Structure 1
Amino acid sequence: MTMVPLEIFQTILRHLDRLLVYLKIRPIGLRLPKSASRIFETRNHDVVLPTSIMRPLHEFQREALALFSEPCNIQRMSHMSACLNTEYVKKLKRGTECMLPSFCHTLPTGQEEGTFIALDMGGSTFRVALVALSTRVADNDGMNIKHITVNKINESIRRLPARQFFAWMAGKIQDMLHQCKDGQISQDETISIGLAWSFPIEQTSHQGGTVQPMGKGFKAHEGVIGQDLGNLLEVACRERGLEVQVNAIVNDSSATLLSQAYKDPATTMSLILGTGTNAAIYLPVKHLGEDKFGMRDPSWFEQAEKVIINTEVSMFGKGILPTTRWDEELNRAHSAPDFQPLEYMTTGRYLGELLRLVIAEAVGTCQMFGGLMPDNISGRYTLDTALLAAIEEDTTMGCISSAERIQKEFGLLSLPTPAEMTFLRTVVEAISHRAAAYIATAIHALWSLKHGGPHEATSKTSVAANGSVMLMYPGFRTRCQRYVADMIAAAHSSKPSRSNHEVLIQPTHEATILGAAVAVAIADAT
């Protein structure tokens, strides 16, 4: 009988190993001692195979790096951008979930002036600010936050019914006004307010929109769905003796675009990349289908040549952006699979979870961490993306700083080995570089909506960028910028008119609060 060489036998076992992990099947007839039961199945049901058919960690490292890195070349990204662009064009013509036109049809000139109350209602904080606009000049952007209060939103606030919730908002507005000592806002006069509202709303005008289910554990929408958001807030303020008028309501992506456009007239796009992602773009009205605008007054169309569009870009990418088996596992386990493909592979909510899934497989097939999944990261979404950032920016010898943090956060008895740290750093960089590539591809595809036709005179496009991943993750914005520039450069031979075009991803700060004030200034000027 011919003997099977050891190398071939080991190769067969490795392939069987991968198949079993992918199918989540326990090897038939395999009997393990009781002491091995925790090694075979971890708390989160990730399969861990016996050491007889383990594969080397460095081999798995090469595979993970290849899977995440494969799409990140300019030729493939350019193709993906073209496919995304086609989907954008389709959704601009029809559909109610994305590519939603706002009522804001003008951008600021930078000459708007005034002092306004700006509100930023998010999922975890409610910020109230006194913002002064004083005209943009060469050495001053003309935007000044005179006073701001930040109010944490805990579970008790989220559970407040509508009347109490808007009363709480009105109280925080009143508190901020009492703290202002400069007398620039008189409480005896009607106060003009701009509101950045980070929840669903069916906008009916520049200053109005009907309440929709808020999500994120909030109860304030119950009983008032379909009622005007601005009116609810105005009534709550009047009950406290405050005469206010909500003159502008914008979402966070539109507010970010407006705030940067006040400083830089080349700004016609914005991108939010933090826990989630979204983008806005200023496009000609003719790009959109008539049904997109609903029942607007004809006078609006008489004034509007272009309009800011809330793209809901997170919803794009299915079947276009390549996925790994870890992306597919995350998507299958998600409460809304396939709903936001781009977001699931690029944002602060999910980058840590992708790393956790890779670690779980490494524990199961390479005996990483001794073959035991750390209890602290055994549950879904228990690995924070901040840890990935810490690993990437660690310049200490042997990454000792991040190794100590991993030991503490994972609850390990000892420091990760050098091989484990090399594995983690390689995978982290692969995950974040792919995220930057996909975000850059989405930006490039949106930019192509503006430059897909005849050559435009404007050669510079500024993209206002906000969000924790874009602003704080080490090197992320720089990578995005480089990828976009390389895709534009790659198209020179086929479209020479683009050779002088430049897309700059500009970091913005306090964008939503400043953008809400700018939105009021625009409303007052029209």
Structure 2
Amino acid sequence: MTTLRNAILTALKSLLRGRSLLQAILAFWFNPTAVEAATDRTAKVDGTARRSIKDFLKEADELLLQPIEPDELKTLSRRFKAQFRERLWNNPSCMLPSYNHQLPAGHEQGQYLSLDVGGSTLRVALVELRGRGLKGQESEIVRMRSFKITPEIKKLEGMAFFDWMAVRIHETVSESLQADHSEKAIPMGLAWSFPIEQTSLKGGLLQGMGKGFLAANGLLGQDLGEVIQFACRKQKLNVELAAIVNDSTAALLSQSYVSPTTRFGLILGTGVNIAVHLPTCTVHRSKFGTRPSSWFDKASHVIINTELGMFGHDILPLTRWDKLLKAAHPKPEFQPLEHLLSGYYLGEICRLALVEAIETTGIFGGVVPESLLSPYSLDTETLSIIEEYVDYLSPPPCQCLPFLFSLSLSLTNPLDRDTSSTLDTALDTFRTRHPSTAAPTRLDMTALRTLASFISRRSAAIVAACVSGLWELKAEAEAEYLESLVSASASASAEAPPSSFAAAAETRAELDILHTVVAFNGSVIERYPGYLAACQRYVDELVVAAAGPNAAGAASVELIPAHESSLLGAAVALACLEEGKAN
């Protein structure tokens, strides 16, 4: 009975610290019997004393999860907000205003040609927009073809790559173009996943593409839109490239066509980024380049590309494993936040911690698999398989005691449960990808699963802190903008122009939004087990804390998937452009 009481008390303390129920139970049962038995099996392999895996995981918990406890996470969110605000004015590399200043009204209709050029695939699609009124049928990809960008295609230099693109476009849409006897060119939108210095909605100066691509060779500094248009003309394609968007802007636009209160677009896969809709005056005028004054007359708001990965300098809670990753990185200060969040780096942080655990605790037989000695050899996909059945969410507080009690009656040790199918899947995956002379046990995999969950939960919490910080910044910026409009109108000697009244009405509508949508896509947030649920929970807690106990109304921020957002977002950008011309 004493053991049961201690288990309940230990688990409750863990729940209060925001851990998942499974981790809370593991924190007790994983210690005194199973793990110490595993440690005894390997602790003296080389005749030296080792620390216990219990002690290692306890320290990992403190290093990775304590900095994301409620008070600490609120502080981090405020610090992000301060960095976002500061860099709207003084940093030329992030918080970049796009040329997209219109959000869709939802009644835009038409058929558009969309291109999505990523690191490994070119997708060409005909997209039909039907209007927000057709619930569930607002848009449709009428025809789409995907083309692998093989290593050979990546080596195509200069116009050769864009000629290859134009041929693929022709293969996809030639039938539709022949059926359309109109001489009017079909508008084409492009989601471009590589750096450009955008100079207009439909153009931008080509920069080095990286990722093994040679397409920019001989074309650096030339206008991307004109290059693609020229290649299409050679194929006798009657198309007009009219809009170029990045992936986060495309996510925001595509979901706002369906959900009118969408104001953020989050990308979280190999990399991380967020787009946000803000008042134009929030951004220093120097960041807009040489846009005509007529653009500013129309643009009370603008979509901002935050380049989120570049934030976090001097405010991130770094562990020794983060510092090891940073020390070995060729550009350690370029994207510090991305190192803690994105799929490219989560596996590497876990690899560094796991190697230390093997060497100091003796798990995995005290033998580091040879493959794990190579940087970035433990990928995030492997972690997702290992974590597939970890539960991130605790039961509601009122249910904790009965839930724990019923669990305590049915379980003597979570490691003795019939979880063979899930653990065997993890074991098979790990053995195949990281063979070793010392075969890993189910206990080893449970330890790795726990460590991976700490790292992924930290990522989810910090993403939530970024979203919350931007949400607060937007609310403050809208209030400040409205105040400036009211003050200017009151002090003007002449009658205020109609545009100022329209801007004030638009800003009041922004401030009245209670339910804000964050459109998202990317492999980590879409497919990593439990990640989305954890991130949403942290967002909910931060939004409630930011709104305060006396806030009128129930403000909420919801993460909603934006499926096929690159293709749909490019089409919506075109539709918004046409709507603007019509008006």
The answer as to 2:518 corresponding to 1:463 is: yes
Query: Residues 68 and 196 of structure 1: is their aligned pair in 2 closer, same or farther, counting only changes over 3 Å?
Result: same
For 2:540, the aligned partner's letter is A
Q: Which amino acid aligns with 2:563?
A: H
Residue from 543, 546, 570 that aligns with 1:516? 570
Q: C-alpha separation between the residues in 2 aligned to 1:356 and 1:185? A: 55
**Aligned mate of 1:196, from 191, 200, 218:** 191
> For 2:384, what is the secondary structure of its paired residue?
helix
Distance in 1 (CA, whole Å) between partners of 2:243 and 2:46 is 62
Q: Among 289, 293, 304, which residue is 1:294 paired with?
A: 289
CA RMSD in angstroms comes to 2.0
- 2:55 is aligned to 59
1:389 aligned residue: 384
Closer/same/farther in 2, CA of residues 279 and 236 from structure 1, 3 Å limit = same
* 1:407 aligned residue (423, 431, 435): 431
The one-letter amino acid paired with 1:354 is I
Deviations 1:481-514 (A, max 9, x none): 11011012223447x3376211001011100111
CA distance in 1, matches of 2:553, 2:55: 42
- Aligned residue number for residue 475 of structure 1: 530
Aligned mate of 2:473, from 435, 449, 466: 449
CA distance in 2, matches of 1:204, 1:513: 21
Asked if residue 208 in structure 1 is aligned to residue 203 in structure 2, the reply is yes
- How far does the alpha carbon of each residue in 1:302-350 deviate from its partner, in whole angstroms, 9 at most, with x for none? 1000000100011111221201110110111112102111111111111
Equivalent position amino acid for 2:385 in 1: A
345, 352, 371: which one aligns with 2:347: 352
Structure 2 Cα separation of the partners of residues 184 and 50 of structure 1: 76
SS in 2 for 1:64: helix
CA shift, 1:141, in A, is 4.4
| In 1: Cα distance, 2:565 partner to 2:332 partner | 31
SS at match of 1:67: helix
Equivalent position SS for 1:490: helix
Q: Say yes or no: does 1:251 pair with 2:268.
A: no
State how 1:101-180 maps to structure 2 within 5 Å. 101-178=97-174, 180=175
Question: Which runs of structure 2 are paired with 1:74-85 in the superposition (5 Å)?
Answer: 74-85=70-81
d(CA) in 1 for partners of 2:181, 2:109: 17
Per-residue deviation, residues 190-221 of structure 1 (Å, max 9, x unmatched): 22100000111111111111111111111111
Give the distance between the partners of 1:113 and 1:464, measured in 2 at CA: 21
Q: Distance in 1 between matches of 2:45 and 2:280?
A: 58
Q: Distance in 1 between matches of 2:574 and 2:476?
A: 32
* Cross-structure match for 1:488: 543
SS of residue in 1 equivalent to 2:194? coil
- 1:341 alignment partner, SS class: coil
Match of 1:283 in 2: 278
Bigger mean CA offset, 365-374 vs 422-431: 365-374
The 3-state SS of whatever aligns with 1:491 is helix
Q: Which residue of 2 aligns with 1:501?
A: 555
TM-score normalised over the length of structure 1? 0.87
Deviation per residue, 1:218-276 (Å, 9 max, x gap): 11112212211111001111111112210100111101100000001000111000000
Q: Do the aligned partners of 1:404 and 1:415 also contact (CA within 8 Å) in 2?
A: no
In structure 2, distance between residues paired with 1:475 and 1:174:
41
Distance 1:482 1:141 in 2: 30
Shift of residue 291 of structure 1? 0.7
Indicate if the aligned counterparts of 1:117 and 1:517 stay in contact, CA closer than 8 A. Answer: yes
Which one has the bigger helix percentage? 2
Does the 8 Å contact 1:327/1:345 carry over to 2?
yes
Deviation at 1:138, TM superposition (A): 5.0
**Aligned partner letter, 1:522:** C
Pair 49,449 (structure 1): closer, same or farther in 2 beyond 3 Å:
farther
- Show CA shifts across 1:449-494 (max 9, x none): 1123649211111000110111111111111111011012223447
- Whether contact under 8 Å (2:364, 2:438) holds in the other structure is no
Question: Does the 8 Å contact 1:118/1:513 carry over to 2?
Answer: yes
Paired with 2:250 and 2:534, the residues of 1 have a C-alpha distance of 24
Match for residue 453 of structure 2? 429
Deviations along 1:150-184, one digit per CA (max 9) or x if unpaired, are 11112111111111011011011001114x56966
Q: Which amino acid aligns with 1:514?
A: L
| Contact kept? 1:488, 1:499, Cα under 8 Å | no
User: Is 1:324 paired with 2:341?
Assistant: no
| Aligned CA distance change for structure 1 residues 157 and 49 (closer, same or farther; 3 Å) | farther
Match of 2:365 in 1: 370
CA apart distance, 1:400: 2.3
In structure 2, the CA distance between the partners of 1:493 and 1:257, relative to structure 1 (3 Å rule), is: closer
Please give the secondary structure, in 2, of the residue aligned with 1:497. Answer: coil
Whichever residue aligns with residue 375 of structure 1, its letter is E
Structure 1's 377 and 207: CA in aligned 2 closer, same or farther, altered over 3 A? Answer: same
1:489·1:499 contact (CA, 8 Å) conserved in 2? no
* TM-score, normalisation: structure 2: 0.79
Q: Provide the rounded CA distance (Å) in 1 between the counterparts of 2:476 and 2:110.
A: 38
The change in CA–CA distance for 1:108 and 1:286 in structure 2 (over 3 A counts) is same
- Tell me, in whole angstroms, the C-alpha distance in 1 between the residues paired with 2:376 and 2:425: 23
| One-letter identity of the residue aligned with 1:484 | V
CA distance, structure 2, for counterparts of residue 183 and residue 438 of structure 1: 51
Separation in 2, partners of 1:486, 1:231: 47
Paired AA for residue 460 in structure 1: H
Q: Are residues 478 and 207 of structure 1, via their aligned partners in 2, closer, same or farther at CA, if it must alter by over 3 Å?
A: same
- Structure 2: distance between partners of 1:96 and 1:186: 46
Query: SS of the residue aligned with 1:390?
Result: helix
Unpaired stretches in structure 2, ≥5 consecutive residues: 1-43, 391-417, 480-507
Q: Is the 8 A contact 1:440 1:480 kept in 2?
A: yes
Aligned amino acid, residue 142 of structure 1: E
Q: Distance in 1 between matches of 2:141 and 2:220?
A: 33
CA gap 1:118/1:504 in 2 versus in 1, 3 angstroms: same
Deviation at 1:381, TM superposition (A): 0.9
Q: Deviations over 1:120-144 (max 9, x none)?
A: 0111111100100111115234110
Aligned residue pairs, count: 477
Tell me whether 464-473 or 397-406 shows the greater mean CA deviation: 397-406
Change (3 A) 1:157 1:401: same
One-letter code of the match for 2:123? R
Match of 2:442 in 1: 418
Report SS of the residue matched to 2:68. Answer: coil
Asked whether 1:312 is paired with 2:336, we answer: no
- Percent identical among aligned pairs is 42
- Greater Cα offset, 125-134 or 380-389: 380-389
CA distance in 2, matches of 1:232, 1:58: 59
The aligned amino acid for 2:76 is M
Hey, what's the Cα distance between the residues in 1 that align with 2:273 and 2:147? 24
- Rounded to whole Å, the distance in 2 between the matches of 1:255 and 1:95 is 23
**Pair 1:493–1:394, CA change in 2 (3 A):** closer
Residue pair 2:347, 2:380 contacting (<8 A) in 1 also: yes
